[in-house]
């Protein structure tokens, strides 16, 4: 590979391309002599829109084609929303950097209602996440939570056509695309615990490209990296995927990593929660400990279906 001429693999959605351009700009500020192209690709997850992700193989459908492009040498690295990266990467790949996290919260988008609590019985809330659905069903069982697929613009168009009364989305994507005015209210982690990696960008590359790995490491944000590694470790230990309502969220407070997690049934009837604190340097072991706490509370009964 030519370290002075790099190719970024990216999904072709507006948000994914924004993320790839953001990383390109950050690299060019550090390495202005480097030429960086973006290879836009449509993934299987983008093509199949009439079935929920939990039924067609999970979030790995958004990254498989990008990994193929890297394996074949057509691209050097890929930029992902960290929450879309499978907890187990294929052999030969690694996360080379995790960028500073944007707002990790979920948010409400609606032209009619200012909060979930203000919505009447049977109001239709679109969600692409079993995690969000379970937490809404636990807290607000009178709402009708309906799956919604497609990229961010597609989902917003469905809302604007009146197919839903509101959407619950990740705030980070709206902010990145300059659509913050669409947000009617933020949902704090206490009410909707984020997905592992939510709000962060992850850069994936082949693990045999040492010079590229060193270059990409300059973009790594240590605090975000520790939190996301802890979140992913907990999810990995729980066999986490979008087929399971699972939330894990870490934040560094006063030098300590505060890690919270939940496992739930999709109907919200059972929600198990745990939390702990520890040193950021022990991020992955903290994730394992959190998973063990949730298992001790009975998570295996949920994980086993």
Active site residues: 84
Asked if 40 and 17 count as a contact pair (C-beta separation under 8 A), the reply is: yes
How many residues are there in the chain? Answer: 305
Please give the full DSSP string across the chain, using - where no structure is assigned: --TTEEEEEEESSHHHHHHHHHHHHHHHHH-TT-EEEEEEE--HHHH--SS-HHHHT-GGGGTHHHHHHHHTTS-SEEEEEGGGS-SSPPTTEEEEEEPPP----EEEE-SS-SSGGGPPTT-EEEES-HHHHHHHHHH-TTSEEEE--S-HHHHHHHHHTTS-SEEEEEHHHHHHTT-GGGEEEEE-TTTSPPPTTTT-EEEEEETT-HHHHHHHGGG--HHHHHHHHHHHHHHHHTT--TTS-EEEEEEEETTEEEEEEEEE-TTSS-EEEEEEEE-GGGHHHHHHHHHHHHHHTTHHHHHT-
Which of these, 132, 130, 83, lies nearest to 107 by C-alpha position?
A: 132
User: 123, 113 in Cβ contact below 8 A?
Assistant: yes
- Find out whether 283 and 230 touch, Cβ atoms under 8 Å: yes
Side-chain-side CA neighbours of residue 172 (13 Å): 21
Cβ count within 10 A of residue 300? 12
């Amino acid at each position: 590979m030519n370290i002075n001429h790099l190719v970024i693999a990216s999904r072709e959605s507006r948000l994914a391309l924004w993320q790839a351009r953001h990383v390109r700009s950050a690299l060019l500020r550090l390495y202005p002599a480097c030429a960086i192209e973006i290879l836009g690709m449509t993934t299987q997850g983008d093509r199949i829109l009439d079935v929920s992700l939990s039924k067609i193989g999970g979030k790995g459908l958004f990254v498989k084609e990008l990994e193929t492009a890297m394996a074949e040498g057509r691209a050097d690295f890929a930029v992902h929303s960290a929450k879309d990266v499978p907890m187990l990467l294929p052999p030969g790949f690694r996360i080379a950097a995790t960028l500073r996290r944007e707002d990790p919260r979920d948010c409400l988008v609606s032209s009619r209602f200012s909060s979930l609590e203000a919505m009447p019985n049977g109001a239709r809330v679109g969600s692409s996440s079993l995690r969000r659905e379970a937490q809404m069903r636990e807290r607000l069982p009178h709402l009708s939570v309906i799956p919604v697929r497609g990229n961010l613009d597609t989902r917003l168009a469905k809302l604007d056509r009146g197919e839903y009364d509101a959407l619950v989305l990740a705030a980070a994507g709206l902010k990145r695309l300059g659509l913050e005015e669409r947000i009617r209210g933020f949902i704090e982690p206490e009410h909707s615990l984020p997905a592992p990696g939510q709000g962060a960008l992850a850069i994936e590359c082949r693990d045999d490209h040492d010079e590229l790995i060193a270059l990409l490491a300059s973009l790594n944000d240590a605090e975000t990296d520790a939190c996301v590694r802890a979140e992913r470790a907990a999810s990995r230990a729980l066999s986490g995927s979008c087929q399971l309502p699972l939330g894990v969220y870490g934040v560094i407070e006063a030098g300590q990593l505060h890690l919270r997690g939940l496992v739930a049934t999709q109907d919200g009837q059972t929600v198990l929660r745990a939390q702990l604190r520890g040193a950021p340097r022990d991020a992955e072991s903290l994730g394992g400990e959190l998973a063990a706490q949730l298992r001790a509370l009975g998570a295996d009964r949920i994980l086993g279906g």
